[in-house]
């Protein structure tokens, strides 16, 4: 896992692709949603490092995550599904936002991880040593290149230190439990790949024997729900422990209710050299963990990716299993606004939906959510989001995270006026939403510009012109005075004397005047027939006040919150009492 473009998938391609390019499949099987690397293959790739390496594991199942959000799917009853993670860091771009998110997620889950410092071949002047162990590759470099590598490494180690973590190159690391190991790699030319594979296996074998030991109890997570031609709706699962059989009765989480069904077929992809044969799978009567499997069964249309799969045994309590599989879904549903107001959120899996809801709930964001969906956006989702058109038009939005939108749904959204924002990264989705809301606010501001009234109290200092227009020298006692503000005189039965046409400070025109400013103002009568005169209708002793109303207060609340300080709201409270607005 790691930041977008750090080279996660390329690294995996390099691990499994070298032998394929040479026409030696080496028994590597390209699994569904994961890659299985048998021990023989790992032994072959690490020969140059340690020919006598003792490998006790039968192989490694690698799951490639598109980003940190998807890691949330890889969980079983709240704990992490994976035993050890590889955090991929781009040496040229160092720690980026998603790297730090991934880091925090790994720490939160107490998941062991190592750092693959990728793209060493991008260092200026780097001499490529195809598929070589890193120590051998670095020896081939010039002193300048070595210095540049050490400088970049030092910067990254400092960044990790800022996150509260000590790091060291894996072969120099004397305190592996306390200090994170860094393995420099290149996904393009393969340097460091032998180191990464050997260190991964040996570190896991040394520190997590109990975790790696196989147990019979089925532990299985749904990774993806897919429609496959000839098979209907299928689920891709990762089987971590136990054994699955054709004909097993299984229970999986559904959008509305638990799904109870029977396994029709257990499928895996063909080995890599045959993976170009489309639409064919290997059938199995039974499969033992750890493997990635495609399951075909009836009624999987509403299965929720990112949740646990349970196998029903002869003595199991079906009701207890049903309740258990729905626990994750219920925790997500509890985050929806009870008021029924908010945006509609759609994501590819329960895990990514949880990550998005968590982000939207965070103090810096605070976007209310009225409804959720999992999987592609269909017409029914548009109809649900469209309910907001009546309640709160700007919330008639679907935030679609890492999902496709069907053509029919897109057309219906355009017709109804429902906005759909799509992105594969949470931050991008938030940016799209924020820009849209800002645009709406600006439009509302323009629409309500004539009705908005900011609070102010003025003292009259002198008179320049008594009527048509009235020109006065005033001091702003409290609040803010803006052009266009309607002015009245509370002490003279709240008579309206007109709107502020212009403001001058030190003989220069300005748009507004703040508390304490002394300015000259021109007041133009709102109604020519009811023009007021200084000296007859009001005089120097009278206080002038902006004429607020319930509507003007609502507009300030909706569109001008960023321009209103606590002091100005306090003045609004005083004026509400003065104008008897409740």
> According to the model, what pLDDT value does residue 270 have?
62
Residue 301 and residue 548: Cα distance in Å, rounded? 56
Instruction: Using alpha carbons, select from 394, 371, 392, 366 the residue that is nearest to residue 381.
Output: 371
Q: Is the pLDDT of residue 279 over 60?
A: no
Cα–Cα distance list, 260 to 77, 281, 303, 330, 538 (Å): 19, 24, 10, 18, 81
> According to the model, what pLDDT value does residue 483 have?
94
Percent of the chain with pLDDT over 70: 91
Q: Which residues, including other chains, have CB under 8 Å from residue 547's CB and lie 6 or more apart?
A: 453, 486, 487, 488, 494, 496, 579
> According to the model, what pLDDT value does residue 77 have?
40
> According to the model, what pLDDT value does residue 46 have?
87
Query: Quick one: how many helices (H) and strands (E) in the chain?
Result: 16, 30
Q: Is the pLDDT of residue 278 over 60?
A: no
Which pTM was predicted?
0.62
Percent of the chain with pLDDT over 90: 51
Q: How confident is the model over 103-119, as a mean pLDDT?
A: 88
Lookup: tokens for 194 = 């032998």
Q: Are 421 and 412 a contacting pair, CB within 8 Å?
A: no
| Predicted confidence (pLDDT) per residue in 476-514, tens digit | 999 999 999 999 999 999 999 999 999 999 999 999 999
| Cα angle, residue 94 at apex, residues 90 and 100 outer, rounded to 5° | 100
**What's the full length of the chain, in residues?**
582
Q: How confident is the model over 538-553, as a mean pLDDT?
A: 94
Other C-beta atoms within 10 Å of 244: how many? 22
Lookup: tokens for 303 = 């299965």
Residue the block writes with tokens 């072959």: 44
Q: How confident is the model over 80-100, as a mean pLDDT?
A: 85
| Predicted confidence (pLDDT) per residue in 77-89, tens digit | 444 567 888 999 9
Q: Is the pLDDT of residue 393 over 80?
A: yes
> According to the model, what pLDDT value does residue 13 have?
82
Which is more confidently placed, 441 or 79? Answer: 441
Residue the block writes with tokens 């089925």: 218
What φ, ψ does residue 456 adopt, rounded to 5°?
A: -160, 150
Q: Are 88 and 116 a contacting pair, CB within 8 Å?
A: yes
> According to the model, what pLDDT value does residue 184 have?
97
Residue 241 and residue 352: Cα distance in Å, rounded? 24
User: Distance between alpha carbon 432 and the CA centroid of its chain, in Å?
Assistant: 12
> According to the model, what pLDDT value does residue 275 have?
36
> According to the model, what pLDDT value does residue 66 have?
54
> According to the model, what pLDDT value does residue 80 have?
59
> According to the model, what pLDDT value does residue 79 have?
46
| Predicted confidence (pLDDT) per residue in 153-212, tens digit | 999 999 999 999 999 999 999 888 789 999 999 999 999 999 999 999 988 888 888 878
Which is more confidently placed, 271 or 58? Answer: 58
> According to the model, what pLDDT value does residue 139 have?
95
Lookup: tokens for 95 = 């720690």
Residue 193 and residue 133: Cα distance in Å, rounded? 7
Q: Are 472 and 462 a contacting pair, CB within 8 Å?
A: yes
């Amino acid at each position: 896992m790691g930041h977008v473009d750090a080279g996660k998938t390329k690294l995996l391609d390099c691990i499994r692709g070298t032998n394929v390019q040479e026409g030696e499949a080496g028994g590597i099987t390209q699994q569904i949603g994961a890659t299985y690397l048998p021990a023989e293959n790992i032994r072959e790739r690490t020969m140059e490092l340690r020919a006598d390496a003792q490998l006790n594991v039968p192989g490694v199942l690698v799951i490639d995550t598109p980003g940190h959000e998807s890691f949330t799917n890889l969980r079983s009853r709240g704990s992490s599904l994976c035993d050890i993670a590889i955090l991929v860091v781009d040496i040229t771009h160092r720690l980026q936002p998603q790297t730090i998110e991934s880091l925090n997620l790994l720490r939160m889950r107490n998941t062991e991880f190592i750092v693959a410092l990728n793209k060493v071949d991008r260092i200026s002047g780097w001499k490529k040593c195809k598929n070589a162990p890193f120590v051998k590759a670095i020896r081939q470099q010039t002193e300048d290149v070595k210095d540049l590598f050490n400088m970049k490494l030092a910067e990254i180690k400092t960044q990790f230190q800022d996150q509260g973590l000590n790091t060291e190159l894996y072969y120099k690391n004397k305190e592996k439990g306390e200090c994170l190991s860094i393995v420099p790699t290149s996904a393009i030319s393969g340097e460091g790949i032998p180191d990464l594979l050997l260190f991964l296996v040996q570190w896991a074998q040394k520190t997590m024997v109990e975790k790696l030991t196989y147990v019979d109890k089925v532990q299985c997570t749904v990774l993806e729900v897919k429609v496959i031609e000839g098979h209907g709706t299928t689920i891709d699962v990762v089987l971590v422990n136990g054994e699955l059989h054709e004909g097993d009765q299984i229970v999986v989480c559904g959008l509305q209710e638990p799904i109870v069904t029977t396994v029709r077929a257990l499928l895996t992809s063909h080995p890599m050299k045959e993976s170009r044969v489309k639409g064919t799978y290997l059938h199995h009567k039974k499969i033992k963990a750890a493997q990635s499997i495609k399951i075909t069964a009836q009624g999987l249309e509403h299965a929720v990716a990112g949740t646990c799969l349970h196998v029903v045994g002869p003595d199991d309590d079906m009701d207890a299993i049903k309740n258990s599989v729905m626990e994750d879904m219920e925790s997500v549903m509890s985050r929806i606004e009870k008021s029924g107001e908010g945006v509609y959120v759609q994501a590819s899996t329960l895990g990514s939906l949880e990550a998005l809801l968590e982000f939207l709930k965070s103090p810096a964001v605070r976007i209310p959510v009225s409804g959720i969906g999992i999987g592609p956006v269909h017409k029914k989702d548009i109809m649900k989001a469209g309910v907001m058109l009546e309640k709160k038009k700007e919330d008639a939005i679907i935030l679609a995270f890492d999902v496709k939108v069907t053509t029919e749904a897109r057309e219906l959204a355009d017709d109804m006026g429902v906005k759909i924002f799509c992105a594969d990264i949470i931050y991008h989705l938030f940016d799209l939403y924020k820009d849209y809301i800002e645009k709406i606010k600006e439009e509302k501001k323009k629409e309500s510009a004539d009705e908005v009234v900011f609070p102010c109290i003025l003292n009259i200092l002198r008179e320049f012109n008594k009527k048509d227009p009235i020109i006065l020298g005033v001091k702003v006692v409290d609040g803010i005075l803006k052009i266009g503000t309607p002015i009245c005189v509370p002490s003279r039965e709240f008579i309206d004397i007109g709107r502020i046409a212009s403001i001058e400070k030190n003989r220069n025109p300005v748009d507004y005047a703040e508390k304490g400013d002394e300015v000259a103002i021109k007041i133009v009568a709102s109604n020519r027939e009811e023009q007021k005169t200084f000296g007859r209708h009001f005089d120097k002793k009278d206080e002038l006040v902006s004429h607020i109303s319930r509507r003007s207060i609502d507009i300030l609340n909706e569109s001008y919150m960023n321009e209103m300080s606590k002091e100005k709201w306090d003045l609004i409270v005083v004026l509400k009492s003065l104008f008897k607005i409740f």
